[in-house]
Amino acid sequence: MKKTHIVLLVLIIGAIAALISLMPKGGADMLSSYETIAGAKEKSGKFVHVVAKLDKTQPIDYDAIKNPNHLSFTAVDSTGGKVKVVYNNAKPDNLEHSERLVMKGKMNGDVFECNEILMKCPSKYTDDPTRIQESMNKNTN
């Protein structure tokens, strides 16, 4: 690599960095963090990832006929935190059967407004023995 290469490369990278810093961030460089529900409440208004579970004792509110873009439910986490979650999108179909939710969003007042939900479902494509067994029971006689 020659000096001119280095100079030019530095210039290009510098220019890109400068231009990027001028652009609105749109949440792109705000690296978020994994939080508990309590942590999310503490950082109200800040975008976080919350790992929690569906609270199965509370009703799931979703009526595709009334509004297919409104889902609300209650989430609990391992530290006992509890929060109402609103997700303005279709209900992930296997929500009821999920083991764990990774919710991306932020607290607004008492409600966790969620942009995206990733679900960890008890997939039979993993090595979970109980699932394999269930599948096995179904397929044997």
Partner 1 sequence: MDYIGEQLVPGKIGHFLIILSFVSSLIAAVAYFISARSNKPVDQESWKRIGRVAFFLDAISVLGVFIILYTLIENHRYEYQYVFKNSGNDLEPKYILSSLWSASEGSFILWTVWHAILGVILIATAKKWEAPVMSVLSFAQVCLATMMLGLHFFNVKIGASPFALFREQMPDLPVFQFADYATRIKDGNGLNMLLQNYWMVIHPPVLFLGFASTVVPFAFAMGGLITKKYGEWVKPALPWALFSACVLGVGIMMGGAWAYESLSFGGYWAWDPVENASLVPWLTLIAGLHTLIIYKSTGRSLQTSFFLIALTFILILYSTFLTRSGILGETSVHSFADLGMNAQLYLFLYVFFWMPAIASSIGLNKKLIAIGASVLFLLLAGLVHPFFALISPIAALVLFLVNMNKIIPSIKKEEAASSREFWMFIGSLVILFSALIITYQTSTPVFNKIFGTNRAPAQDVEFSYNRIQIFIAIIIGLLTAIGQYLKYKETGTQYFFKKIGLPFIISAVAAGLILAFGNINYDKYGLGFLIFIWMAVACAVFAIIANFSYIWIGLKGKLKLAGPSVAHLGFGMMLLGILISSSKKEVLSNNTNGIFVPLEENKITGKVGENYTLLKGVKMDMGKYWVAYEGDSSHPKKSQKYFKIHFTDKESHEDFTLRPNAFIDYKGNEGLSANPDARHYWNYDVFAYITALSDPEKTKDTSAFKSKTIGPGDTIFYTSGYMILDSVLLNPENPRVTFSPKDTAIVAKLTVNTMDGKKLMAWPFFYLRENHLDFVPDTLVAQGLTIQLQKLVDKKFEIGVKESKGVQDFLTLKVYKFPFINLLWLGTLLMAAGLIISMVRRIQINKISG
Q: Dihedral sign for Cα 132, 138, 139, 140, please.
A: positive
Distances in whole angstroms, Cα of residue 107 to Cα of each of 6, 39, 44, 67: 46, 10, 5, 22
Under the binding rule (CB under 8 A), the answer on residue 7 touching partner 1 is no
Query: Is the separation of the CB atoms in 106 and 40 below 8 Å?
Result: yes
Question: Cα–Cα distance between 82 and 72 in angstroms, integer?
Answer: 13
Q: Tell me the residue type at 118.
A: L
Q: Least distance in Å: CB of 126 to partner 1?
A: 5
| 69 to 108: interface string for partner 1, x by CB under 8 A | xx---------------x-xxxxxxx-xx----x-x---x
Residue 133: enclosing H or E segment and its boundaries? helix 129-139
Under the binding rule (CB under 8 A), the answer on residue 49 touching partner 1 is yes
Under the binding rule (CB under 8 A), the answer on residue 10 touching partner 1 is no
Residue 47: enclosing H or E segment and its boundaries? none
Of 26 and 80, which has the nearer Cβ to partner 1?
Answer: 26
Q: Least distance in Å: CB of 66 to partner 1?
A: 6
Which residues are at the interface with partner 1 (CB under 8 A)?
A: 1-5, 8-9, 12-13, 15-16, 19-20, 22-24, 26-34, 47-49, 62, 64-70, 86, 88-94, 96-97, 102, 104, 108, 111, 113, 115, 118, 121, 123-127, 129, 132-136, 138-141
